[in-house]
Amino acid sequence: MKFLKKHIYIIAGLFLLAACKPEVKTAQLTHGSANFSRFIAVGNSLTAGYADGGLYLDGQLNSYPSIMAGQMQSVGGGSFNQPLFTSAQANGSGYLQLTGFNADGTPITTPVTTDLAIRGILPVPGFGNVTLYTKYTGDIENYGVPGIKLLNITYAPYGNLNGYFERLLPNDAPTNTTDYLDFVTAKPFTFFSDWLGNNDALLYATSGGAGDVLTDETTFAQLYSLSISKLTATGAKGVVATIPDVTSIPYFNTVTVNAIVAGVQKLNPAVQGIYINALVSGTTYAPRLATAKDLIVLTFPTSMIGQLVSTPYGELPYGLTPYSPIDNQYVLDANEIALTQEHVLSFNSTITSIAASKGLAVFDAYTFLNNIKQNGLVIDGLNLNSNYISGGLFSLDGVHLTPRGYAIVANEFIKAINSKYGSNIPLANVANYRGVKFP
Amino acid sequence: MRKLLLLLWLALPVCAFSQGFQVNLEGEKQIGMGHTGTGLLTDGASVFFNPGAVAMLPENYVQAGISPLVFQSVFNPSGSNVQYHTLNKIAPPFTFYGVWGPKSSWWKFGFGVYTPFGGLTDWGDNWQGKYVLESLNLKAIYFQPTLSIKLADFVSIGGGFVYNRGSVDLTQAIPLANQAGQDGQAELKGTGHGYGWNAGIYFKTESGVTVGITHRSGVSTTINNGNAIFTVPTALQSYFPQPNTFKSTIPLPAVNSVGIGFYPSPKWTLALDMNITSWNVYKTLEFDYKYTTPDLQNTVSPRNYNDAFTFRAGAQYKSSPRTAWRFGGGFATTAVGDSYVTPEAPDANRVYFTGGFGYLISKHLDLDASFEFEHLLSRTSTNIQYQLSGTYESNIYIPGVSLSYHW
CB < 8 Å from B in window 120-159 of A: none
- For residue A361, what pLDDT is reported? 98
Q: Which of B81, B83, B235 is facing A438, going by the closest CB pair?
A: B235
Question: Cβ of A380 under 8 Å from any chain B Cβ?
Answer: yes
pLDDT higher than 50, residue B13: no
- The gap between the terminal CA atoms of chain B, to the nearest Å, is 80
CB < 8 Å from A in window 116-135 of B: 126-132
Question: Cβ of A91 under 8 Å from any chain B Cβ?
Answer: no
- Average pLDDT of the residues of chain A: 93
CA distance A178 to A158: 8
pLDDT higher than 90, residue B280: no
CATH number of A39-248+333-432: 3.40.50.1110
CA distance B186 to B154: 56
- DSSP per-residue string spanning A212-249: --PPPHHHHHHHHHHHHHHHHTTS-EEEEEPPPPGGGS
Contact flag A390-B371 (C-beta cutoff 8 Å): no
Residue type, A287: P
Q: What is the CA radius of gyration of chain A?
A: 25
Three-state SS annotation for B122-159: ECCCCCCCCCCCCEEEEEEEEEEEEEEEEEECCEEEEE
Q: Which residues of A touch B76 (CB under 8 A)?
A: 24, 26
A–B interface: beta-carbon pairs under 8 A: 161
Residue type, B2: R
pLDDT higher than 50, residue B18: no
* CB B51 within 8 Å of CB B160: yes
As a whole number, mean pLDDT of residues B330-334 equals 91
pLDDT higher than 60, residue B351: yes
Whole-complex ipTM: 0.89
- Residue B391 bridge partners (DSSP): B76, B380
- For residue A5, what pLDDT is reported? 59
| Environment class of B337 (CB within 10 Å of its CB; exposed 0-12, middle 13-18, buried 19+) | middle
Cα A278 to the center of its chain, rounded Å? 27
* CB B214 within 8 Å of CB B51: yes
Q: Which residues of B touch A91 (CB under 8 A)?
A: none
Q: What digits encode the pLDDT tens for the residues B352-368?
A: 999 999 999 999 999 99
Residue type, A172: D
Question: Cβ of A298 under 8 Å from any chain B Cβ?
Answer: yes
Name the region of A303 (left: φ>0; alpha: ψ -120 to 50; beta: rest). Answer: alpha
- For residue B12, what pLDDT is reported? 41
Going from N- to C-terminal start, the domains of chain A cover 39-248+333-432, 257-291+295-331
- Distance (Å) from the alpha carbon of B312 to chain A's nearest alpha carbon: 22
Give the residue among A236, A429, A102, A270 at the shortest CA–CA distance from B79.
Answer: A429
Q: Which residue has the higher pLDDT, A106 or A346?
A: A346
- For residue B342, what pLDDT is reported? 86
Question: Cβ of B177 under 8 Å from any chain A Cβ?
Answer: yes
Contact flag A101-B128 (C-beta cutoff 8 Å): no
Cα A74 to the center of its chain, rounded Å? 26
Contact flag A15-B235 (C-beta cutoff 8 Å): no
Cα B20 to the center of its chain, rounded Å? 7
* CB B325 within 8 Å of CB B319: yes
Give the residue among A167, A127, A122, A161 at the shortest CA–CA distance from A144.
Answer: A167
- For residue B4, what pLDDT is reported? 38
pLDDT-derived band at A126 (thresholds 50, 70, 90) equals: confident
pLDDT higher than 50, residue A437: yes
Q: Which of A22, A29, A382 is facing B393, going by the closest CB pair?
A: A22
CATH class of B19-406: mainly beta
Contact flag A434-B9 (C-beta cutoff 8 Å): no
Contact flag A438-B177 (C-beta cutoff 8 Å): yes
Contact flag B393-A11 (C-beta cutoff 8 Å): no
Name the region of A271 (left: φ>0; alpha: ψ -120 to 50; beta: rest). Answer: beta
* CB B373 within 8 Å of CB B327: no
CB < 8 Å from A in window 247-306 of B: none
